[in-house]
Chain A
């Protein structure tokens, strides 16, 4: 115990949550596969993935509701792997809140403090009610509250214990879209205010990107990629991340060499013979097989090849197969012979809108593309995203 206090005083890794080689199997099914991860103290961390990817199991192993088959869970230097849930300095905001229906809002919030033997809970409960802006309804029962209010009670009930780590299990899943947006901002505000480590599990990539400092994208019990929201979005390292986080146009091809000073760009021949350039710095492909990725909003659409400014990658002419006007932008699907449909999002700056059936040319600035290893499943993560969205 004294040793733990020493390291705490020592500093840097004091309150970091660490999972070391954690594996969880349910019978033959491996839910979490040799996961190693450090979540720095005070950060807002998101575990993002489709259902069944192991993110909730990971969370439950931190809260103690599930025990790892192998590996260790630590907070700072303290090993909590085998600690019973009620002995862990960790609290959870449950997916459907799990508010105690027989207790009032205030009693729900006071529950954890009372269990730890805190005598005077009145003031802290009042402070928490203020923080979550529910002071006026402290004496109501949970079933008399709206979804958003219940969500805040669940948050307050966990926060009041000042846990070393706060776990949020799809905390906004039961709310409607507008309330969800509002609560996302609120959660972020509260996290900044209290400065606790938040670990947030979600299948909603937009939610993860809005709130988290760092996102870990999980797939099949492993972490596919970890980084800041912008980093993940701009530089996906796998087709899964490229497809799961936002949308990507992925074009398979072969790397044929480098061009530019110091091999600044990789030259790629796409399957239909078109030649394009990819920045070497953003290319993850090791071998010859390469998948060129471009986000739809990075692409431009033109009436003919002649209108494309010099220096851009240009695809073979195709036909517009679908035009969706969504207000801020227009989303096109363009299909050229011998290649997949290409998505293009164009800002509505008053430019011409192309109707379906029009022949067009699609282009992008070489610096906006990225290269992925060509031996992966090109559709990985695309269906998972659909599943998660439904």
Chain B
């Protein structure tokens, strides 16, 4: 057999091959060492940036949160943990209100995002990309300007108020405490949450859509073939498969919402002050107590960090980044 015969000339050729291999091997080892180092070189600048300007500042804010003093004499690090007790006593109302608003916002965002993502992923056909672009398009015009537009939309003499009054929904809203009178919805929790839902909805839709888009549409056919109604197919097939995206979308909505104060300020009034506004005032505004602002920020940071880490632990990091 030729397979047998091959070994013989190979042995005579061995010397020539071996010399070449030595030099090759050395070059090879060099290349290999460089290759092993490459990922770290690629990662270093970006990750260093994030460590210095995202991770390290967490320590800065903690140290600031236990300082003592005032604007005129400056603040000194005295490890005054009582700052945390102070801010809780002073602004408990705003903290709870922030949680309420962001929870409401997240709930409404989910209610809207699920049918929207479902429609785009499964029913939009070749318009899929265009519709998704339209969901994201608002990102590209300044959100403060768009938020201001809600002032026009929800104005006392605007058409939304007109519809709400005609349908006698306004007394319902004020009855639930979402508005303060029957002829205005601006400067109320209703207008604030409305603006928040509008601003954060794309953040909820995107991960849910991404998860749904991966689902093979034939699974729906299979579900219905196996005697599941459209609704049962959604509950038993689509929903579980889209769950990672739904959880991700919830997280990416709730966390930014809880710290947001732009909607509360622009669409709200004195009675809708949230924790973000307090932090803003203490850190750079008229409040003037840096440690108090920092302490509130630390509370917010730790709260969201716990939620996020719990999520990472369950979902893993590969899925989301």
Contacts and interface: CB of A to CB of B under 8 A. Distances in A.
Say if the two chains contact directly (CB < 8 Å). yes
B226 interface: no
Contacts of B17: 72, 74, 77-79, 81
A81 B13 contact: no
Given A13-B9, A18-B10, A20-B10, A3 B16 contact: yes
A38 B16 contact: no
B21 interface: yes
Given A3-B16, A74-B13, A79-B17, A36 B24 contact: no
B167 interface: no
B16 A37 contact: no
B260 to A, nearest CB: 42
A69 to B, nearest CB: 14
B28 interface: yes
Contact of A77 (B1, B16, B25): B16
Interface string B267-306: 0000000000000000000000000000000000000000
B6 A38 contact: yes
B13 A77 contact: yes
Contacts, number: 52
B63 to A, nearest CB: 48
B290 to A, nearest CB: 54
Contacts of A355: none
B5 interface: yes
Nearest to B28: A82
Contacts of A72: 10, 17, 21
Contact of B10 (A74, A78, A216): A74
B20 A79 contact: yes
A34 to B, nearest CB: 11
B43 to A, nearest CB: 25
Interface in B1-32: 1-3, 5-7, 9-10, 13, 16-18, 20-21, 24-25, 28, 31
Contacts of A18: 6, 9-10
Interface string B110-130: 000000000000000000000
A4 B1 CA distance: 26
A204 B18 CA distance: 37
A216 B1 CA distance: 11
B2 A226 contact: yes
Contacts of A77: 13, 16-17
Interface in A65-79: 72, 74, 77-79
Interface string A37-65: 11010000000000000000000000000
Interface of B: 1-3, 5-7, 9-10, 13, 16-18, 20-21, 24-25, 28, 31
24 contacts: A4-B16, A18-B9, A18-B10, A20-B10, A36-B3, A36-B7, A37-B3, A38-B2, A38-B5, A38-B6, A72-B10, A74-B13, A74-B17, A77-B16, A78-B20, A79-B13, A79-B16, A79-B17, A81-B21, A216-B3, A223-B3, A226-B1, A226-B3, A227-B1
